[in-house]
Each structure stands twice: as C-alpha cells, then as structure tokens.
Amino acid sequence: MEETSAELPFQAVDQRRTFEQILLQIEEAIIDGRLKPGDRLPPERDLAQTFSVSRSSVREALRVLEMFGVIMARRGTGPDAGSIVAASAQNGLESALRLHVGLLRIPTKDMVEVRAVLEQQAALKAAERADDKMTARLHEIVDGMRAAIAIGEFNELDTEFHVELARVSGNALLPVLMEALRGTMRRAMLEGFKRLADWRAERDHLVGEHERMVGYIEAGDQVAAGAAAQSHVLRFYRHVMEPETDREAP
C-alpha cells in the first residue's frame, strides 16, 4: 500500500523565497566589503530591476534588514530618502537576543554569569592597553553616574560605562555583545533598583566600585581590574537583581 504524504515525517523542500535570495546577496556584499557603513542602497525600483523581482519582494527584504539593524530606512522623497547601511547592528542583535531569551526561558542568572566573564576580560585587556584619554572618558561617565538623580538616567550611564570599557579593551566584538546583553537585562535591572528601599545608597556603592575598576586600569593591574569587574557584576545581581525567592537562607 502506497504511503500518503501525511504519513511521512518529511515535507517537500521549497525553493528559497525571493526575499531571502535578496537578503543573501546583500549579506554577501557587506561581508565582502562591497557595501560599507554609510553606503546608500539604490531605490526600490532600481533594486527590483537589478534582482529581476517585484518591488514587494525588495520591500520585504529591506524590512527584515531594518529590523535587524543592518540598514536605516529614511522615509519620504528627495536626496536624503532611501536605505543606508548602518554603522552598527547592535539594536538588531539586542532584539534577537531578547526574543531568544524569552523563547528559551533563559534565566537572568545565566546571562549574568556570561556577562561577568565578558566584563572580566574587558577590564583585564583595558588595564593592558588603556591610555589617559581612555580612562578620562571612563572617569567622566562615573562622574555622571554620581550625579544621576533618576534610576533610568543612572542605568543609561552605567550601560555607557560598561560598553565604553569594552571598547577600551580593544576587542571589536566585546562592545557589541555588551550592549546587547545590557539591553536585554535592562528591565530586570530597573525592576531590581525599584525594589530597593534606598536606591541612592546602592548608586553610591556602585560608583565606588566603578572608580576602583578605573583605578586598577590606570595602574595597569590586569588581575585586580578583571577580578573587580567580575565581582562587581555578580554582587550587583545578588544584591539588586536576584528575586527574594531565589536567595539562599543565611
């Protein structure tokens, strides 16, 4: 007896959809360096002619690229309208990470552990290569954190500090990952602050921890800088972010 398609565990393989073929070509052009940040893509009509596809397929591909932060779409008409290759796809990476964290139910603790490792490496490498200009920028951000009067403002400056620290490390991927992780954890961090009886006391403590990190970096003490960064992240989670129900009894 001949089996029907419903009884088989497989399905017919569909050809790659048109917009996916467009995405693949644009992706290859970026990887090969033929498209660079700031480059303007041709208008939809021209792209449709180039790819020999409908404008709706081009539009669908551009929407996906915009969602992932690869391009910035400027609406309207005139010389400033159209799609520009973005200098960074960090927002797209953050969106993708947030979705995966939600779908896979990845606990905040796991993200904190990964971030602690990245922070340790960032601080260690920063202590190896930082100059006065780099550390001056870190000091400037810490001064802003000290003066912050709102939780949201403080958190934004805190994020800026850790992303800048990742930049100082000299590793091009670290600031991208750091910004995506911080953005994904932002809600949990803000909620943790709001649970505190006196968030300003925590602010002052955190400012002190950041100052010590910068001090170790200025001194070129890689081991101390890395240890301070890792301890800072883990302590903040235990004291501010970790739900009461997950804390161990004393």
> Going from the N-terminus, what domains does the chain have, and what CATH number goes with each?
18-85 (1.10.10.10), 91-246 (1.20.120.530)
Q: What pLDDT band is residue 5 in, cutting at 50, 70 and 90?
A: very low
| C-beta of residue 138 within 8 angstroms of C-beta of residue 154 | no
Integer angstrom CA distances of residue 95 from 23, 158, 163:
18, 20, 17
Q: What average pLDDT score do residues 232-250 get?
A: 73
What pLDDT score does 36 carry? 87
| C-beta of residue 168 within 8 angstroms of C-beta of residue 145 | no
pLDDT of 171 > 90? The answer is: yes
82: β partners: 74
3-state secondary structure of 131: coil
Residues 6+ apart with CB under 8 A from 219: 127
Q: What pLDDT band is residue 11 in, cutting at 50, 70 and 90?
A: very low
Phi, psi (deg, nearest 5) at residue 71: -130, 160
pLDDT tens profile 89-138: 666 778 888 888 888 999 999 999 999 999 999 999 999 999 999 999 99
Q: What average pLDDT score do residues 141-148 get?
A: 97
pLDDT of 165 > 60? The answer is: yes
Rg over CA atoms, the chain: 23
Q: What pLDDT band is residue 71 in, cutting at 50, 70 and 90?
A: confident
Q: What percent of the chain has pLDDT over 90?
A: 54
Query: By C-alpha distance, which of 198, 35, 227, 12 is closest to 116?
Result: 227
* Residue with the two structure tokens 């006391």: 201
What pLDDT score does 77 carry? 55
DSSP state, residue 109 = H
pLDDT of 58 > 60? The answer is: yes
State if pTM tops 0.85. Answer: no
